[in-house]
Amino acid sequence: MRYKNFKLRFILIILFISNFIISYCWSAELKWPNPCYQGQKLEEVRTWEKQWVGKTIDSTNVDQVKEFLPDTYYERVKNPEKWGTISFTIVPYQYIKPTDGLINATNDGAGKASVDNNEVLHNWVNGIPFPEPKTGAEIAWNFDCITHGDTEHITNRAWLIDGKRKTERFLGRVKIWRMYFSGRTDVQPIPEFPDNTKGYRRGLVYFFVEPYDMRGIRNLSIRYKDTTKEDDSWAYVPAMRRVRRMSTAQRGDSVGGGDNTWDDTWGWDGHIRRNKYRFLKMQEVLMGRHSDKKLQPTKGNIDHSGTQRERVNCYVVEFISKDPDYVYSKRICWIDSETWRMPYEDQYDQQGRLWKTTEFTAAPVNAKGGMVTTVFSSNTIDMQRVHATPAIGYPQFIGENIPPETFTTDYLIKLGH
């Protein structure tokens, strides 16, 4: 009996030491962050840029850069008679360094996180859980775990575009507050609020300012550290003067009558475990990530012109919904390998047909923890109806303190007063 107990203890000690050595070696060998272009590859990109930087791309010459564009974006630039005139300018690739807080958290946690067969994340505290991802699920979790400055306050304006009739109308203005209670990397307290007894991961508030018939409507969503737990969501409607709970099934509903759903925010704002993931390939794409106030909207046009697009290497991942009744059957998502933002995604209907496509343009802003890349514009396009919902988010305040009580139902009622 003593021999068996000794043998068991010996095995456990060996396993502990082995795991420690593996984690230590991973941390010692890891050199993160890694720019997406280095050495000879960077030289190749700079040589290519000598020919293309400063050039305006439109329907007349887009074929020459087709390999660097998603098919859905190429289709719109190539066919102005259907989608309106679209153009963009090529600019040099600029490396975007993560904040010091994100770098430290990622290197400290390297080799510890894991994903199980149900897409549930384990053993993660903060930072990028998989600095050298090998699977689609690991890439998806990297996209989800980054906090982009820990807090943000944005004013978003959106329009509805009918591309067939060439008409446009103002959809509305909404203020957005988002704050991470845990997984924080840049603003104290790090990595988590000490009194986070309810296990919050993130709070998110929408406050509709315009149009008049939606003014004062507020939405609150709480996401939990326990990734198997559904979000809690509430809405306050001034006409009813009460807070009502929202169903998780409503996350597939349209936001304010636009083409995008609640889950479409930032590319994918649902739970990672709700999908299966397949890593398809790496692809270099021309994307807008230094394009803050340079957009040139043309009334009735589906897309903005004037974006500044640089060549960046992206992960391409297929998000396949586990729910057969979900509004989309799958998404094809391009994810920036440096910023973990999603510049492009294609959404497919329940029959597997291309339905929508969404683009996000971004730019670095000066936040409390350092320079943080944030989304300045989005555009969800219904490729079947030739219809779009472009939006611009400005001004933006990143990394500033937001009172935790902002993310309570009591404050939801007080917010409009």
Query: What residues does 316 pair with on adjacent strands?
Result: 281, 334
Here the tokens at position 37 are 């272009």
- Which residues are paired to 319 by β-bridges? 277, 331
User: What integer pLDDT is reported at residue 299 of this predicted model?
Assistant: 79
Lowest mean pLDDT across 25-29, 45-49, 238-242:
25-29
3-state secondary structure of 282: strand
CATH class of 59-414: mainly beta
pLDDT tens column, 172-208: 999 999 999 999 999 999 999 999 999 999 999 999 9
Greatest Cα pair distance, the chain, in angstroms, is 84
pLDDT for the residue numbered 22: 45
Least confident of 12-21, 271-280, 296-305, 321-330: 12-21
pLDDT digits (tens, 9 = 90+) for 247-289: 776 777 777 778 889 899 889 999 999 999 999 999 999 999 9
Q: Quick one: tokens of 314?
A: 């992206």
Residues contacting 373, CB < 8 A, separation 6+: 96, 148, 289, 339, 341, 362, 363, 364, 365
Give the tokens for residue 186: 């840049």
pLDDT of amino acid 15: 45
First to last CA, the chain: 71
The predicted pLDDT at position 17 comes to: 47
Q: Is the dihedral of CA 42, 47, 50, 54 positive or negative?
A: negative
pLDDT of residue 353: 98
Q: Is-contact 200 181, C-beta < 8 A?
A: yes
Contact 114, 122 (CB under 8 A): yes
Mean pLDDT of the 351-372 span: 94
Check pLDDT > 60 for residue 417. Answer: no
If pLDDT is split at 50, 70 and 90, which confidence band does 48 have?
very high
Cβ proximity of 309 and 74 under 8 Å: no
Whether pLDDT at 8 is above 80? no
More confident residue, 22 or 267: 267
Share of the chain above pLDDT 90, in %: 77
Alpha helices in 58-127, H assignment, sequence order: 71-78, 80-83, 100-109
Say whether pLDDT at 294 is over 70. no
Sort strands 88-90 and 307-321 into parallel, antiparallel or unpaired: parallel
**Above 70 in pLDDT, residue 11?**
no
Both structure tokens of 367: 């936040």
Flag whether pLDDT at 10 surpasses 60: no
Residue 19's identity, in one-letter code, is: N
pLDDT at 59: 98
What integer is the mean pLDDT of 30-41? 91
The pLDDT confidence band at residue 230, using thresholds 50, 70 and 90, is very high
pLDDT of residue 305: 84
pLDDT for res 181 = 98
Q: Write the CA distances from 232 to 245, 249, 251, integer angstroms.
A: 8, 12, 11
- What lies within 8 Å, CB to CB, of 146 at 6+ separation is 102, 128, 340
- DSSP state letter for 308: E
Q: Is the pLDDT reported for residue 215 higher than 80?
A: yes
Taking the C-alpha atoms of residue 345 and residue 355, their distance in angstroms, rounded to an integer, is 11
What does pLDDT average to over the chain? 90
| Torsion sign across C-alpha atoms 103, 104, 106, 110 | positive
3-state secondary structure of 270: coil
Could you report the per-residue pLDDT of 64-93, keeping only the tens digit for each?
999 999 999 999 999 999 999 999 999 999
Label residue 256 exposed, middle or buried (CB < 10 Å: 0-12, 13-18, 19+).
middle
Q: How do residues 139-157 score in pLDDT, each as one tens digit?
A: 999 999 999 999 999 999 9
DSSP label of 43: H
Q: Which residues contact 232 (CB under 8 A, 6 or more apart)?
A: 221, 222, 245
Residue 20 reports pLDDT greater than 90: no
What integer pLDDT is reported at residue 306 of this predicted model?
85
Residue 349 has a pLDDT of 97
Q: pLDDT value at position 81?
A: 93
